Amino acid sequence: MKISVDHPRCEGHGLCADQAPDVFSLDDDAELTYHFEGTDVPDEHQPAARAAVNACPVAALRVLS
């Protein structure tokens, strides 16, 4: 499973990091880091990653595969 992040759309709410802290994090400036950029999300993190995508209030995250 891969996830696309629309960084300009992200407003730094942090719900993704709350749902999947091993997949997403926010720095002190509320800038999003996606820890699996360019690779598949490991199987053990996929349920949390899907929950994070669904939790984003501005639809900045999208499951690609």
The CATH number of whichever domain residue 9 belongs to comes to 3.30.70.20
Q: How far apart are the first and last CA of the chain?
A: 5
Three-state DSSP state, 62: strand
Residue type at 56 in one-letter notation: C
Instruction: Kindly list the distances between the CA atom of residue 39 and the CA atoms of 9, 31, 64, in Å, as whole numbers in the listed order.
Output: 21, 20, 11
Inter-residue contact 24 to 34 (CB < 8 Å): yes
Local confidence band at 65 (pLDDT 50, 70, 90 cut-offs): confident
**Cα 54 from Cα 64, distance rounded (Å):** 13
* pLDDT score at 62: 98
% of the chain at pLDDT higher than 90: 98
Residue 50: domain span: 3-63
* pLDDT above 70: percentage of residues in the chain: 100
Structural domain count, the chain: 1
Instruction: Report the chain's mean pLDDT, rounded to a whole number.
Output: 96
Tell me what the mean pLDDT of segment 21-48 comes to. 96
